[in-house]
Amino acid sequence: MKIVVPVKEVAVLDEEFDLLEDRPGVDPDAIEWELNEWDDFSVEAALQLREAQGDGEVVVVSVGDEEAEEGLRACLAKGADRALRVWDDSLEGADPLAVARVLAAVVERESPDLVLCGVQSSDAVQGATGVALAAHLGLPRVAVVKALDYDGGSGSATVERELEGGLTEMLRVRLPALLTIQTGINEPRYANLRAIKQAKEKPLEVLGPADVGLDDTALAAAAGSRTRSMAPPETGGGAEMLGGSASDVAGRIADIVKERMAG
Amino acid sequence: MSGVLVVAESRQGALREVSRELIGAALGVKDEADGRVAVAVIGAGGGEHAAVLGAPGVDEVLTVEDAPEHFEAHVHGAALEALIEQEQPSVVLLGHTIDSLGFGPAVAARLELGFASDVTGLDWDGGPVATRGGYGGKVQVELDFPGKETVLLMLRAGAFEAPAENASVPARAVQVSAEPQTEHLGFREVEAGDVDITKAEFLLSVGRGIEDKDALPQFEELAESMGATLSVSRPLVDAGWVSNARQVGQSGKTVKPRVYLALGISGAVQHLAGMQNADTIIAVNTDPEAPIFRVAHYGAVVDLFDVADELAEQFPG
């Protein structure tokens, strides 16, 4: 079986950061990049399925500049078989629908049995890329999956969808399908040093949108939004900050708790 | 293209609260959108909700009853596509909910609509302008949708005011044919466990900041000596350290205690959704930019273990 797992490097801002003045954005010096937390779980789910089946291929795909290769190599070190990276400078700041369009063109060529995405990314938090990708691929999809029982023989998978308030829905989806994977579905593995070394030898192919048949017009039509401005968040009332040592803070907390609980 | 199409949401026969908030948001841009506000209810039995969905300013309720009893993402998607085709709205509003995540982005992708999710503010400047968080909520981003005749927005639950008044509004049944691609097998409630954190008046809540499972007993003891009930944020449940009966947040419980003391919880949106209405929120976190400080009444940027040790002395139990 072939499983494709789209992954993403997410931006983590330093405690202090500056906004750009000439366009909406954050000063890149204040950004660290790391593999999206949700993607740890989707990759792990794919690896576990391949291991349970006894054979198969796990292909990780990312839309991103060279920075994205670190994340892809991390997935290869964990056990993914090969990686694809698609990039063109015109994709800078692409919204989830544009990314989904690019992914669709790449994933289509792979004809996977299953596509596993993270539910959302920790930086953009749109929760849209996976389901938009499924729409382009014409695949059935289930969003926010927290348990997965794959039964290739019957052509279906039984999954659990995590709803609000602790409710779970059990459902069956026909295959091939796309699932967006929720954190906690498994225990993501760590790669050992040897695997990290070996990952450098695994195939990582770099493509441009034109290589998968996409031109600027198609990408512009797919894009869902444009960033108009960026600002520090509204602080609302904001918290009254308690200063001093841990002991001072604990003293104030104790006073507040006693007062509020006494009434 | 004109007007606003709202997609109401129901589950297990009950209308979800976000539905009327969407109507409130729709009425807020009705004049600019230059048209009608129509509210669609997709799903068998949706007609029953029509009466509740009416509000002054809502023009029509559309019911799509030819659908499975429970939410099915593909039927919802096909129905919404048909409704957009028919109504030609300039704005489509969905809740930013688990159900909508299953079909909203698919419809936007297929029809190449303007799109944004987890939207917390909606303005108008020649077209809709959506406000949402960026970089994990550390900045506020304004999005616009140039060249898009229809824009689909998924609005965060609790971010918009529901209209105060009800009104009787005409309802119209719409026929849509769509094939489900998943089969509902059942629902399961969270295991009750030994504790009901929604009933607690004082919650001591710990998160990722405690770092190690071995640190948990210390906070269980502290909670007991302070007279609090221990609750947690999602990562501790994901890691299998604590039962989800104690989880606060969108996928856990919504709590409203008199005091919510959060140690080492940065405050992801999904967590804030579950506790921001607590009477008094006290947050301790080493990151001064942690989003939880925006909803907290009191905050402190100190090491949570140092504070926990000091609190243990203040509350010898």
Place of tokens 């072939």: A2
In chain A, alpha helices (H): 37-53, 68-78, 96-110, 129-137, 193-199, 216-222, 246-262
Q: How far is CA B252 from CA B192, B219, B275, in A?
A: 12, 20, 11
The alpha-carbon gap from A57 to the nearest alpha carbon of chain B, in Å, equals 26
Contacts of A52 (CB under 8 A, 6+ apart): A150
Q: Is A154 on the interface with B (CB under 8 A)?
A: no
| A residues 192-211 lying closer than 8 A (beta carbon) to B | none
Q: For residue A13, give the chain B residue with the closest CA.
A: B135
Superfamily of chain region B197-314: TPP-binding domain (3.40.50.1220)
R_g over Cα of chain B: 22
**Quick check: B166 and B55 in contact, CB under 8 A?**
yes
Residues ≥6 apart with Cβ < 8 Å to B41: B8, B10, B47, B49, B50, B53, B61, B62, B63, B64
Q: Where are the domains of chain B?
A: 4-173, 197-314
Topology agreement, domain B4-173 and domain B197-314: yes
Disruptive mutation site among A16, A18, A169 for chain B (greatest number of B CBs within 10 Å): A169
Cβ distance A15 to B103 less than 8 Å, yes or no, reads: no
Q: Distance (Å) from the C-alpha of residue B39 to the closest C-alpha of chain A?
A: 23
Supply the pLDDT for residue B315. 92
Q: Which domains does chain A have, with CATH numbers?
A: 2-222 (3.40.50.620)
Is some CB atom of chain A closer than 8 A to the CB atom of B260? no
Residues in chain B: 317
Which residues in A lie closer than 8 A to residue B299 (C-beta atoms)?
239-242
Which pLDDT belongs to residue B190? Answer: 74
Distance CA B154, CA B259 (A): 31
Provide the number of CB pairs (under 8 Å) joining chain A to chain B.
287
- A235 in contact with B at a CB cutoff of 8 Å? yes
Output the CA torsion A143→A148→A150→A151 (10° steps): -100
Give the pLDDT confidence score for residue A206 in this predicted structure.
98
What is the four-CA torsion angle of B260, B262, B268, B272, rounded to 10 degrees?
10
Among B74, B201, B294, the residue with its CB nearest the CB of A233 is B294
* Cβ burial, residue A190 (10 Å; 0-12/13-18/19+): exposed
In which residue ranges of chain A is pLDDT below 50? none
Among residues B215, B178, B232, the alpha carbon closest in space to that of B67 is found at: B178
Which of residues 80 through 119 in chain A touch B, CB cutoff 8 A? 95-97, 100-101, 119
Confirm if A205 and A83 have CB atoms less than 8 A apart: yes
- Specify whether the CB–CB gap between B233 and B207 falls below 8 A: yes
Q: Which residue of A has its CA nearest to B239?
A: A184
Q: Report A:44-83 residues touching B (Cβ under 8 A).
A: none
Give the three-state DSSP class for B163: coil
In chain B, residues with a C-beta closer than 8 Å to the C-beta of A261 are 201-202, 227, 258-259
A65 burial type by CB count under 10 A (0-12 exposed, 13-18 middle, 19+ buried) = middle
Cβ–Cβ < 8 Å for B24, B15:
no
Instruction: Give the global pTM.
Output: 0.91
- The helix (H) or strand (E) run that includes residue B15 is strand B14-15
Minimal C-alpha gap between A203 and chain B (Å):
31
Beta carbons of B116 and A100 less than 8 Å apart: no
Can you tell me the distance from the alpha carbon of B85 to that of B88, in angstroms, rounded to the nearest whole number? 6
How many helical (H) and strand (E) elements, i.e. helices and strands, does chain B have? Answer: 11, 18
- The DSSP call for residue B214 is G
Tell me which residues of chain B, numbers 114 to 133, contact chain A at a CB-CB cutoff of 8 Å: 114-118, 129-130, 133
Give pLDDT, residue B47.
82
B residues 54..83 contacting A (CB < 8 A): 70, 73-74, 77
The helix or strand, by DSSP H or E, that contains position B274, with its residue range, turns out to be helix B269-275
Q: How far is CA A235 from the centre of its chain?
A: 28
Tell the residue number behind the tokens 């001093």, with chain if given: A244
Q: List B312's β-bridge partners, or say none.
A: none
Assess A24–B contact: CB distance below 8 Å, yes or no.
yes
CATH of B4-173, one of 3.30.420.130, 3.40.50.620, 3.30.1950.10, 3.30.450.40: 3.40.50.620
Note whether B136 contacts A123, CB cutoff 8 Å.
yes
Residue B62 makes CB contacts below 8 A (sequence gap 6+) with B38, B39, B40, B41, B83, B87, B171, B172, B173, B174
Q: Which amino acid is at B135?
A: Y
Q: Does B187 touch chain A (CB under 8 A)?
A: yes
Closest alpha carbon to A5 in A79, A97, A65: A79
Contact A141 B73 (CB under 8 A): yes
Evaluate whether B263 touches B208 at the Cβ level (below 8 Å). Answer: no
Asked if B317 has any chain A CB less than 8 Å from its own CB, the reply is no
Q: Which residues, given as ranges, of chain B have pLDDT below 50? A: none
Q: Quick check: A242 contacting B, CB < 8 Å? A: yes
Tell me how close the Cα of B14 comes to any Cα of chain A, in angstroms: 14
d(CA A169, CA A17): 41
List CB contacts (< 8 A) between A19 and chain B. Answer: 139
Beta carbons of B72 and B170 less than 8 angstroms apart: no
Contacts of A32 in chain B (CB under 8 A): none
Instruction: For residue A188, count CB atoms less than 10 angstroms from its CB and return exposed for 0-12, middle for 13-18, buried for 19 or more.
Output: middle
Strand (E) or helix (H) holding B93: strand B91-95
